[in-house]
């Protein structure tokens, strides 16, 4: 199964708002899905000048499975490797809530300043079905929270729905500019 950027679904597709199912058995089929998720993320990245494909949840390629792939090195676009988290669960949230920018491959052209916990502990299964635990700080903690939200049908915009100052658009030059909440966000039928 060849998966590409065009397989990534976007709002207003209501499937993004549904809860994903637990993966019961990890076989070649599940591993092919994972390989396809990574391929789709990299294909998307290759089509964007100022953005990096950081992570993807299976629901974003319209498969309601609790699978997440997260890039190994966010700062090195040449490192195109990912870690796999099957049935990921947040075990513990720690630290302060920190606001920072988030985007999503399933929300076109909208970024948000989203509060997330600064540290997270996660348990999951790896590509081969072995149990793994991870503790993440900073940006990686944010990515885990964002992606695990996807498995619950929650989008990052849901955390900031009532915060007019929190919405931004990526400009051609790679900078973010504030969106007009009333005009661009509040009654936007694509987002809500």
Catalytic residue among 118, 147, 165, 187: 147
Residues 47 and 13: their CA atoms lie apart, in Å, by 21
pLDDT band of residue 103 (cuts 50, 70, 90) is very high
Q: What is the mean pLDDT of the chain?
A: 95
What percent of the chain is modeled with pLDDT above 90? Answer: 90
For range 14-27, the mean pLDDT: 97
The answer to whether the peptide bond before residue 177 is cis (omega within 30 degrees of 0) is: no
Instruction: Say whether 178 is catalytic.
Output: no
What are the extents of the domains in the chain?
A: 5-186
pLDDT, one tens digit per residue, over 41-68 is 999 999 988 889 999 999 999 999 999 9
Alpha-carbon torsion angle 42, 44, 45, 47, nearest 10: 130
pLDDT, one tens digit per residue, over 69-79 is 999 999 888 99
Residues 156 and 10: their CA atoms lie apart, in Å, by 13
pLDDT, one tens digit per residue, over 116-141 is 999 999 999 999 999 999 999 999 99
pLDDT at 173: 86
Question: What count of Cα atoms within 13 Å lies in the side-chain half-sphere of residue 7?
Answer: 20
**Tokens 């966010």 -> residue:** 74
Question: What count of Cα atoms within 13 Å lies in the side-chain half-sphere of residue 121?
Answer: 6
For range 104-112, the mean pLDDT: 94
pLDDT at 1: 59
Query: By C-alpha distance, which of 9, 116, 124, 108 is closest to 58?
Result: 9
pLDDT at 163: 96
Rounded to whole angstroms, the maximal C-alpha distance in the chain is 48
Q: Does domain 5-186 match CATH 3.90.45.10?
A: yes
What percent of the chain is modeled with pLDDT above 70? Answer: 99
């Amino acid at each position: 199964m060849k998966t590409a950027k065009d397989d990534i679904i976007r709002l207003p597709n209501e499937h993004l708002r549904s809860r994903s199912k637990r993966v019961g058995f990890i076989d070649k089929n599940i591993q092919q899905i994972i390989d396809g998720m990574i391929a789709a993320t990299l294909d998307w990245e290759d089509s964007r000048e100022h953005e990096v494909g950081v992570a993807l949840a299976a629901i974003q390629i319209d498969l309601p499975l609790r699978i997440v792939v997260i890039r190994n090195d966010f700062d090195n676009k040449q490192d195109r490797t990912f870690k796999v988290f099957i049935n990921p669960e947040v075990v513990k949230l720690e630290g302060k809530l920190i606001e920072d920018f988030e985007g999503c491959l399933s929300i076109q052209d909208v970024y948000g300043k989203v509060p997330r916990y600064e540290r997270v502990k996660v348990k999951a299964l790896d590509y081969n079905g072995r149990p793994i635990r991870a503790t993440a700080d900073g940006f990686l903690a944010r990515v885990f929270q964002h992606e695990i939200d996807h498995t619950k049908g929650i989008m990052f915009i849901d955390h900031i729905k009532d915060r007019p100052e929190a919405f931004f658009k990526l400009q051609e030059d790679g900078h973010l500019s504030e969106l007009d909440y009333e005009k661009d966000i509040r009654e936007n039928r694509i987002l809500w």
